[in-house]
């Protein structure tokens, strides 16, 4: 039987069907590698719109290179058929896995959520919003690694839109309210809502909202609150439930700021659960010890068993109840204020100032996005424009720094080369070497100042360089390293060997490739090997010239 060929690929069994294409197992004939081959369905090949969307999916996959996203290999056109090849994932989908297992332990669900969050972070950083996150689009390798796939309806925020404004796309069971309404615009927080639906389903075995009627299900997403997951799975920790409810907030502004913030929240949830278990274990150990432990347990049971008195039910018509009348009045007053008193420049700035005084980057970002940018749009030449612009820049820098710290905390690689260089400069600053740190921060400014996408790193580097210049003198690198080696010798002689070894190790690691520090690195290396280091570098250095000597003026250059 003749094998079907598409370009250099020998087509095998069908393994999946999507809205636009059919996915086949295929073999790349040039090297025998197995791939997944997605082919645009013949019945839609004549649709110009779907052809453009297929090409958009290819362009999106080319942008994304991440361990938790299906890898793109290449594509093209064979006759009238468009196709592309991608990584073949042998373990099936999360949907298949859930059908087999029913539901997952919350620990496993959190592990998978962390992987998905990392994939979303990478996509969102590239300007891609998936818009159809669901178990069927999450593939599993044999070692249970997640692979996000099917970017067929993904939105590339850096490209021209292919979906008409206000049009709903996605899968009903996982759709965020703004995705259903078509406003506010679908963005990265839309994927986080879907992530909440997926996490809910992994733990409970069912989606947050269920109905045979699609319209009814959409209204549930818009208006109803999901059932508490702890009522379905009592062993699920309350902290996990809180995380799910945070993701499922109707208002996008109330959800986690982004996929990186979600990763931080997952780590915090794990920490809280560990702490809670530790406290519970200590408590039970104390209660079951000698001296009335049994009585303590009985008292605890009695306390937990007490029921609160129920309030008498109000049977009056709902429109006569005080809370209903009060709510109506509040809504009416709010509507009058909103329509009759539009926010002016002063009010926008005042609200931004209020949020900026709160000790949270999320609140500062809200101040920027909801009020400062609106102020600058409405009043570009207004009396507060310059101040608002300065505040926007400060929030931009704070947001970049917060994300950088979060990535570092989660042991993730830097987001880009500028971030890598900034973190490297910080190592020297933290070691106390303001000479090298200043050089490196200045180098960041020179290297990246013409690249708009690295603007915040340039501004942060300028800030750090300014602080160093204002605080420190003009010691040479050699003088600084000699001082640190003297500190190490003092520590060694005082019996603080670990402190001395820390300094020697840092000098060896940080200055291995620095020609200016050759002598100091050699000295540190010998000390670490417990060898005689020879003459101390500081004994061979000339003392710095004092002001007034040799006709000097005492003025130093930076």
Active site residues: 132
Angle between helices 259-287 and 188-204 (to 10 degrees): 40
Tokens linked to 95: 């949907």
Provide CB contacts within 8 A for 258, sequence distance 6+: 121, 124, 188, 189, 192, 403
Integer Cα distance of 468 and 432 in angstroms: 10
**Burial class of residue 388, CB neighbours in 10 A (0-12, 13-18, 19+):** buried
Place of tokens 């690195």: 521
Integer Cα distance of 11 and 27 in angstroms: 7
3-class SS of residue 35: strand
End-to-end CA distance of the chain: 79
Integer Cα distance of 398 and 381 in angstroms: 25
> Are the beta carbons of 445 and 504 closer than 8 angstroms?
no
Strand partners, 25: 36
Helix H, strand E, coil C: the string for 82-150 is: EEEEECCCCCCEHHHHHHHHCCCCHHHHHHHHHHHHHHHHHHHHCCEECCCCCHHHEEECCCCCEEECC
Strand partners, 83: 39, 76
Integer Cα distance of 38 and 446 in angstroms: 45
> Are the beta carbons of 469 and 438 closer than 8 angstroms?
yes
Strand partners, 24: 14, 37
Integer Cα distance of 160 and 198 in angstroms: 29
Integer Cα distance of 137 and 120 in angstroms: 13
> Are the beta carbons of 256 and 192 closer than 8 angstroms?
yes
> Are the beta carbons of 351 and 384 closer than 8 angstroms?
no
> Are the beta carbons of 203 and 109 closer than 8 angstroms?
yes
- Count of CB atoms situated within 10 Å of the CB of 296: 16
Question: Nearest 5°: phi and psi at 33?
Answer: -70, 140
Question: Looking at beta carbons, which pairs linking 356-359 to residues 24 or more positions away fall under 8 Å?
Answer: 356/391, 356/395
């Amino acid at each position: 039987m003749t094998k079907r060929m598409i370009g250099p690929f020998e087509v095998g069994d069908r393994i999946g069907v999507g809205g636009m294409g059919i996915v086949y197992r295929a073999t790349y004939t040039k090297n025998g590698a197995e791939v997944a081959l997605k082919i645009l369905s013949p019945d839609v090949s004549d649709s110009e719109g779907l052809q453009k969307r297929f090409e958009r999916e290819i362009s999106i996959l080319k942008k994304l290179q991440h361990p938790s996203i299906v890898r793109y290999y290449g594509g093209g056109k064979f006759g009238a058929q468009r196709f592309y090849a991608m990584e073949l994932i042998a373990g099936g989908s999360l949907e298949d896995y859930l059908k087999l297992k029913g539901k997952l332990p919350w620990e496993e669900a959190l592990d998978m959520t962390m992987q998905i969050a990392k994939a979303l972070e990478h996509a969102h950083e590239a300007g891609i919003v998936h818009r159809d996150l669901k178990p069927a689009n999450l593939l599993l390798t044999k070692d249970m690694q997640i692979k996000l796939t099917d970017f067929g309806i993904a939105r590339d925020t850096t490209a021209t839109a292919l979906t008409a404004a206000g049009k709903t796309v996605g899968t009903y069971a996982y759709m965020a309210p703004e995705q259903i309404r078509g406003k506010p615009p679908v963005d990265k927080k839309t994927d986080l809502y879907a992530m909440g639906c997926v996490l809910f389903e992994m733990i409970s075995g069912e989606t947050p909202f269920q109905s045979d009627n699609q319209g009814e299900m959409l209204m549930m997403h818009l208006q109803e609150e999901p059932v508490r997951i702890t009522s379905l799975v009592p062993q699920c920790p309350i902290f996990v439930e809180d995380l799910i409810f945070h993701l499922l907030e109707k208002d996008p502004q109330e959800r986690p700021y982004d996929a990186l913030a979600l990763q931080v929240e997952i780590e915090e949830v794990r920490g809280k659960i560990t702490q809670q278990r530790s406290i519970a274990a200590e408590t039970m150990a104390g209660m079951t010890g000698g001296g009335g432990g049994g009585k303590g347990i009985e008292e605890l049971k009695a306390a937990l068993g007490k029921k609160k008195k129920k309030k008498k039910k109000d049977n009056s018509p709902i429109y006569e109840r005080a809370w209903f009348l009060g709510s109506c009045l509040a809504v009416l007053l709010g509507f009058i204020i909103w329509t009759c008193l539009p926010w002016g420049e002063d009010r926008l700035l005042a609200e931004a100032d209020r949020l900026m005084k709160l000790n949270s980057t999320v609140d500062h970002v809200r101040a920027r996005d909801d009020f400062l940018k609106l102020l600058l749009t409405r009043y570009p030449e207004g009396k507060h424009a310059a101040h608002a612009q300065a505040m926007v820049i400060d929030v931009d820098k704070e947001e970049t720094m917060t994300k950088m710290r979060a990535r570092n905390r989660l042991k993730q690689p830097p987001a880009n080369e500028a971030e890598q260089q900034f973190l490297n400069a910080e190592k020297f600053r933290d070691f106390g070497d303001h000479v090298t740190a200043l050089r490196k921060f200045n180098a960041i400014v020179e290297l990246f100042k013409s690249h708009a996408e690295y603007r915040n790193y340039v501004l942060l580097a300028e800030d750090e360089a300014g602080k160093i210049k204002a605080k420190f003198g003009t010691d040479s690198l050699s003088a600084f390293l000699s001082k640190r080696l003297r500190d190490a010798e003092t520590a060694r002689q005082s019996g603080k060997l670990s402190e001395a070894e820390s300094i020697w190790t840092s000098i060896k690691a940080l200055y291995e490739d620095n020609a200016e520090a050759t002598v100091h690195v050699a000295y540190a290396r010998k000390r670490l090997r417990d060898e005689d280091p020879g003459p101390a570098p500081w004994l061979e250095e000339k003392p710095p010239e004092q002001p007034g000597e040799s006709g000097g003026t005492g003025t130093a250059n930076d």
